[in-house]
Amino acid sequence: MNRPIDLRSDTVTKPTSAMRRAMAEAEVGDDVFGDDPTVQRLETRVAEVLGKEAALFVPSGAMANQLAVRVHTQPGDEILLDANAHIYFYEAGGPAALSGVMCRCLAGTRGVFTGADVAAALRPADVHFPPTRLVCVENTHNRGGGKVWPLDRLSEVATTARQHGLKLHLDGARLWNASVASGVPERDYAALFDTVSVCFSKGLGAPVGSALTGPQKLIERARRFRKQFGGGMRQVGIIAAGALHALEHHRERLAEDHANARRLATALAEMPGVDIDPATVETNLVYFRVTRVPAADLVARLKAADVLVLASGPDTIRAVTNLEVSAADIETAIAALRTALR
Ligand SMILES: *Cc1c(COP(=O)(O)O)cnc(C)c1O
């Protein structure tokens, strides 16, 4: 039977057999009582990798981000973030619904903005204005095409934010990809931020789970809000074991996903009716524009050839390399794309 080559997302991967074994054998307890040793091991380990005091295991990246917004703000505050930020674009209005804050969007380039952009968006201390409280950064930037923030630019944004007394949160759902691509350790990025969220279920290939990391006191507050948001979980070590396995075994291999994405982008650039600059493909996300067929038609043609991608707009397609896609699969996908575009 033909297995489809699934390039829709890096969230589609299924747990490997080694991961399933780790999950089956996990020691568990009631984590709401603080009794789950596997969750505790995961939280300790992820805090260590990111150089933070503490970590909290949560069901999703959206919950990790929304908990961060919640602990840093009061209702009526304003947060600054790129107009294409996941927190603003893809989290179902969470900042408004869960924290009662306003989002002020910055016009970044592929998700990357400047210290001057932050300074220009600050509100004067005046009774008319919502207090600006928090800056959120996303690295790698999803809608920015997996863009890696240059460390010096991050540092500039952090310095400006600190000068004005703002808090900083990093949406690091794909921080692992940023580190593998740039060689900058996760903890060096994380050091610039108060809180950092990371996902285990994207490129790392765990079935479920994210973490919020930061200072002990803030993470304790986040633990209360996690319960309030309905995210207190019981014998969740079963799930945490998959995340821990992913963290220990699947980080370095992201380099393969990046090489596969580059190969795909380079081949796409040579196809008629495709618009892509392969130089913009730094990690595992490949976005391209189709100029001769509607994106939805191309998606359907590829699906008939057992290659799955997503239309991310009327004329844009997203293809994401992942743990289950080999270099040979990429060659198959390239051949299918050539045929489908004909
Ligand atoms: C996937 C993703 C998240 C979290 O998404 P969930 O589906 O809630 O786990 C957060 N930020 C970015 C940039 C993402 O790509």
Closest to 106 measured CA to CA, from 119, 125, 124, 93: 119
Nearest alpha carbon, ligand 1 atom 4:
61
Distance 62 CA to ligand 1 centre (A): 6
Confidence of residue 217 (pLDDT cuts 50, 70, 90): very high
End-to-end CA distance of the chain: 26
List the 285-290 sheet strands across, edge first: 274-275, 285-290, 316-320, 310-313
**291, 315 contact by CB (below 8 A):** yes
Rg, Å, the chain Cα set: 20
pLDDT in tens, 218-231: 999 999 999 999 99
Structure tokens at 247: 């963290």
Residue 1 pLDDT greater than 60, yes or no: no
Length of the chain: 342
CA 119-177-242 angle, to 5 degrees, is 120
Average pLDDT of the chain, as a whole number:
97
Predicted local confidence at residue 2, as pLDDT: 67
d(CA 231, CA 58): 7
Nearest alpha carbon, ligand 1 atom 14:
173
Domains of the chain (ranges, CATH numbers): 17-249 (3.40.640.10), 253-341 (3.90.1150.10)
pLDDT in tens, 48-103: 999 999 999 999 999 999 999 999 999 999 999 999 999 999 999 999 999 999 99
Which residues line ligand 1 at a C-beta cut-off of 6 Å?
A: 60-62, 65, 86, 138, 142, 171, 173, 199, 202, 210
Distance 338 CA to ligand 1 centre (A): 31
Residue 150 pLDDT greater than 60, yes or no: yes
Q: Angle, nearest 10°, between helix axes 237-249 and 37-50?
A: 30
pLDDT in tens, 193-204: 999 999 999 999
Q: What is the DSSP letter of 148?
A: P
Atom of ligand 1 nearest to the CA of 60: 9
Predicted local confidence at residue 103, as pLDDT: 98
Confidence of residue 184 (pLDDT cuts 50, 70, 90): very high
Distance 91 CA to ligand 1 centre (A): 8
Alpha carbon of residue 173 to chain centroid: 2
Q: What does the buried/exposed string (b/e) look like for 110-149 if buried means 16 or more CB atoms within 10 Å of the residue's CB?
A: bbbbebebbeeebeeeeeeeeebbbbbbbbbbbbbbbbbb
User: To test ligand 1's pocket by mutation, which of 202, 226, 239 has the most ligand atoms within 8 angstroms of CB?
Assistant: 202
Nearest alpha carbon, ligand 1 atom 5:
61
pLDDT in tens, 91-141: 999 999 999 999 999 999 999 999 999 999 999 989 999 999 999 999 999
Distance 151 CA to ligand 1 centre (A): 21
The DSSP string of 72-139 is: H--TT-EEEEETT-HHHHSSTTHIIIII--EEEEE--BTTB--HHHHHHHPPPS-TTSPPEEEEEEES
User: To test ligand 1's pocket by mutation, which of 10, 57, 86 has the most ligand atoms within 8 angstroms of CB?
Assistant: 86
Distance 160 CA to ligand 1 centre (A): 26
d(CA 274, CA 294): 11
> Burial level of 157, CB count in 10 A (0-12/13-18/19+)?
buried
Please name the residue that has the structure tokens 């004067």: 124
Predicted local confidence at residue 34, as pLDDT: 97
CA 292-320-280 angle, to 5 degrees, is 70
Confidence of residue 328 (pLDDT cuts 50, 70, 90): very high
> Burial level of 27, CB count in 10 A (0-12/13-18/19+)?
middle
Please name the residue that has the structure tokens 């240059």: 150
pTM higher than 0.75:
yes
Confidence of residue 3 (pLDDT cuts 50, 70, 90): confident
Nearest alpha carbon, ligand 1 atom 10:
61
Give mean pLDDT, residues 321-339.
98
Helices H / strands E in the chain, number of each:
14, 13
Residue 300 pLDDT greater than 80, yes or no: yes
**238, 187 contact by CB (below 8 A):** no
pLDDT in tens, 170-179: 999 999 999 9
Q: Angle, nearest 10°, between helix axes 175-182 and 254-269?
A: 80
Please name the residue that has the structure tokens 């040979």: 328
d(CA 194, CA 208): 24
Distance 89 CA to ligand 1 centre (A): 11
Cβ neighbours, 10 Å, residue 314: 10
Distance 125 CA to ligand 1 centre (A): 33
Distance 342 CA to ligand 1 centre (A): 34
